[in-house]
Amino acid sequence: MKKMFLLFLTLLLLGLPKNVSAKQKVPILVYHSIDEFTGIGSKELYVTPENFEKQMTFLKNHGYTLLTFERWQDIESVPKPIFITLDDGYKNNLHAFSIFQKLTNENFRPTATFFVISDFIGRANRLTKSDLRVLANSGLISIQSHTATHPDLTRVENLKYELQESKEKIQQITGKPVIALAYPYGNTNQHVVTETKKYYQYGLTTTPGPFSLTGYKNELYYLPRIYIKYSTTLAEFEKLVNVN
pLDDT confidence of residue 244: 86
* Model pLDDT, residue 4: 41
Query: Which residues does residue 33 pair with via DSSP β-bridges, in sequence order?
Result: 46
The model's pTM is 0.90
Q: Walk me through the domains of the chain, giving residue ranges and CATH numbers.
A: 28-239 (3.20.20.370)
State the pLDDT at residue 219. Answer: 97
What residue ranges of the chain have pLDDT lower than 70?
A: 1-22
Return the pLDDT at 9: 41
Which residues neighbour 52 within 8 Å (Cβ) at sequence distance 6 or greater? 31, 34, 95, 96, 99
The answer to whether the CB of 79 falls within 8 A of the CB of 63 is: yes
| CA atoms 232, 52, 75, 133: torsion sign | positive
The pLDDT value recorded for residue 15 is 45
**DSSP tag of 125:** T
